[in-house]
Amino acid sequence: MSRGAPRKVERPGEPDGPRVERTDRVWRIRSLAAAQQVLRARHATTQAGFTAEAIPKGYLKHHPILMSDGPLHDEQRRKVARFFAPAVVAKRYETRMEECAERLLDEAGPEITLDELALHYTVEVTAEVVGLTASPPKKMAARLVTFFNQPPFDITKPGLGRTNRQWMQAAFNGLAPILKFHVLDARPAIRTRRKAPQDDIISHLIAEGYTDLDILVECVTYGTAGMVTTREFICMAALHLLGDDALRERYLVAGQRERHAILAEIIRLEPVVGHLYRRVQEAIEVTDRGESHTLEPGDLVDVFVRPANADPDAVGEDPLHLCPGRDTASGVNETGLAFGDGAHKCPGQPLAILESDVLLLRLLRRRPRIVRTPELGWDDLIAGYWLRGFVLHQDG
């Protein structure tokens, strides 16, 4: 295993230890093994991330898949799994991804703002899977990003740490974009599929008896959680590949399996989502390096993904460096916790890796050079980073 480039992103002020600690009723976990024990404690914890606990219940006939738990969540996951299976993703969407990537790169001209191109690309690809194809992808992309125009919050604090004024601002900033998205993107797609069902997620939800409001919430979930986070990963992967001549050349000549392994190692090192949150419903015993901890009902668990993904017990030596092909501990995914684990593990991992590979391969074949490195920032909703203003020049 060769030692590669170091991690590029560390959040200022975010400690990388201790491995397991408790402050008041919040557990902070930076051990990958301990995190897995919590995330795999089926039905003993519930989703607390993405402001799930602040979303009113009772207004929807079907609770959103990202927020649901227990048998309901298991059933929802089982039914949508077929849309994200690796073989299905490759068979149905790979050719469309290739065509979309080539078209957007051609349209961009010699100078590319990669974060903008990646957004348009991921929105267009994922829209095909979800069924949001009744409106222009670029206009829908512009509406999706407005969901992130929210005041800061902290899930570990009462009321998310927001003032009343911030809650009013959050409601105003959130409802207007959702209304536009509903009228211009979701509702036209739903109407079309009620008349003529297709093999996509919206058609599946209609068949399951979901109301238009239920479907709208799921579309927002897939849009923000899937499309936008993949955008950030594409930019981060490009930053690594363009900054390492040997890795880039290896990537360009490698077969798909090896390229995917390289991308998996990049997202292990640079996970887009930095924290996973769970609320304990039943007591859980968590063990790390022989030390036992009891998590009590009502406790909040904050899994620190970046330190966990750099846990040497799980991912081996040089955990803060890019080392494609590293040997991980038994039961540890090559991406670490970048796509989560347990009941809420992201089903879109095969889609995200494949669509990233398709665009990056075609981009790198054009021998781009960096004109301006991106600005780094942080977003509370996904508890992760964003990269903006990443300008490249391509030779064609």
Question: In 10 A of CB 303, how many CB atoms?
Answer: 27
* Backbone φ, ψ for residue 81 (5° rounding): -55, -35
- Residue 362 is assigned to a structural domain of this protein: yes
Average pLDDT rounded to a whole number, residues 278-288: 95
For residue 62, the Cα-to-chain-centroid distance in whole angstroms is 22
Answer with the residue of higher pLDDT: 352 or 157. 352
On the question of pLDDT at 160 being above 80, the answer is no
Q: Would you state the pLDDT for residue 59? A: 56
In-domain check, residue 187: yes
Domains contained in the chain, number:
1
In a domain, 5, yes or no: no
Closest CA to 301 of 56, 49, 64, 74: 49
Tokens, residue 189: 């797609």
Among 42, 41, 48, 43, smallest CA distance to 25 is for: 48
Q: Flag whether pLDDT at 1 surpasses 60.
A: no
Q: How confident is residue 49, by pLDDT bands cut at 50, 70 and 90?
A: confident
**DSSP class of residue 3?**
-
CATH code of the domain covering residue 163: 1.10.630.10
Q: How far apart are CA 60 and CA 241, in angstroms?
A: 44
Q: What percent of the chain has pLDDT over 90?
A: 65
pLDDT at 310: 97
Q: Between vectors from CA 95 to CA 94 and to CA 101, what angle results, nearest 5°?
A: 90
Phi, psi of 259, deg, nearest 5: -60, -40
Q: Residue 222 in 3-state DSSP?
A: helix
pLDDT band at 275 (very low <50, low <70, confident <90, very high): very high
300-304 and 26-29: which strand pairing?
A: parallel
User: Contact 178/187 with Cβ under 8 angstroms?
Assistant: no
Residue 373 has pLDDT above 80, yes or no: yes
Lowest mean pLDDT among 74-88, 117-131, 230-244: 74-88
pLDDT (0 to 100) of residue 2: 59
Residue 223: inside a domain, yes or no?
A: yes
pLDDT band at residue 65 using 50, 70 and 90 as cut-offs: low
pLDDT of residue 53: 63
- Closest residue by Cα to residue 357 from 238, 239, 202, 188: 238
C-alpha distances (whole Å) from 253 to each of 58, 94, 204, 233, 246 are: 53, 19, 39, 21, 11
**Please, which pLDDT band fits residue 68 given cuts at 50, 70 and 90?**
low
Taking only the tens place, the pLDDT of each residue in 338-363 is 999 998 888 889 999 999 999 999 99
Give pLDDT, residue 64: 63
Residue with tokens 């991308």, as numbered in its chain: 263
Q: Compute the Cα dihedral for 46, 9, 219, 166 and give only its sign.
A: positive
Distance, CA of 389 to CA of 374 (rounded, Å): 5
User: Is 15 part of any domain?
Assistant: no
Residues forming beta bridges with residue 277, ordered by sequence position: 302
More confident residue, 166 or 311: 311
Judge whether 8 lies within some domain: no
389 lies in some domain: yes
Evaluate if residue 146 carries a pLDDT over 90: no
Q: What is the CA radius of gyration of the chain?
A: 21
Could you tell me the residue range of the domain that residue 106 belongs to?
20-393
**Exposed, middle or buried: residue 95 (CB in 10 Å: 0-12, 13-18, 19+)?**
exposed
Say how many CA atoms lie within 13 Å of 378 toward its Cβ: 14
Largest CA distance in the chain: 59
Q: From CA 188, how far away is CA 169, in angstroms rounded?
A: 28
Burial 16-48 (b: 16+ CB within 10 A, else e): eeebbeeeeeebbbbbbbbbbbbbebeeebbbb
**In 267-349, beta strands by DSSP E:** 275-280, 284-288, 291-295, 300-304
Residue type present at position 20: V
Sheet harboring 369-372: ordered strands across?
A: 111-113, 391-393, 369-372
Q: What is the three-class DSSP state of 29?
A: strand
Angstrom distance (rounded) from CA 201 to CA 54: 26
Residue 3, domain member (yes or no):
no
According to DSSP, residue 184 is labeled I
